[in-house]
Every structure is written in C-alpha cells, then in structure tokens.
Amino acid sequence: MLSCKEVAERASALIDGELGVFEALQMRLHLAMCKGCGAFIGQMRTTRDLTQRTLPLDNQPDAEGARISAILSRLHATKQSGG
C-alpha cells in the first residue's frame, strides 16, 4: 500500500498520465480511501490548469501566434525562392 507521502510524490506523474498501469492502480486505490490525498491530487490538477490559464500574457494568443506563423511562412517561402 502506498503512503500519503508516496502518493504526493507521484502526483504530477499521475495527472500527466505518466504512471504505469500498476502504479496508477495503486494510486487510485489509495485515493478511493483517502480524502486528504484526493483533495491534494485535485489541487495539483487545478494548479496545472490555472498555470495554463496564465499563459500567454496577451489577450489574443491564438491570433497572434497565427499571424506570426503566417509572416514567417511567407518569409520562408520568399527566402527559399531567392526573393
């Protein structure tokens, strides 16, 4: 049986889907019985999701990324054709 400390150490691996089948099962067994660890894993997931929300700084990230990609693609094509 995993201890709470061992569960906490594997938290990131769990939420990133990087645990092997057996380890993931051990984790889920513990989480089914331990509210504290359940809360902790939820907090780590929330932390990950909130971190994603802080990026990027600008308001229109996708539009800017697309614009930059478009400019770079045109430049790439221009340079490759010797222009």
Output the DSSP codes for the chain.
---HHHHHHTHHHHHTT-S-HHHHHHHHHHHHH-HHHHHHHHHHHHHHHHHHHT--SSS-HHHHHHHHHHHHHHHHHHHHTT-
Does 23 help bind other proteins (rule: CB under 8 A)? no
Q: Which member of 46, 60, 66, 67 binds other proteins (CB under 8 A)?
A: 46
Q: Which member of 39, 63, 66, 70 binds other proteins (CB under 8 A)?
A: 39
Question: Applying CB under 8 A, which residues contact other proteins?
Answer: 3-6, 8-9, 11-13, 16, 18, 35-37, 39-40, 42-44, 46-48, 50-57, 65, 69, 72, 75-76, 79-80
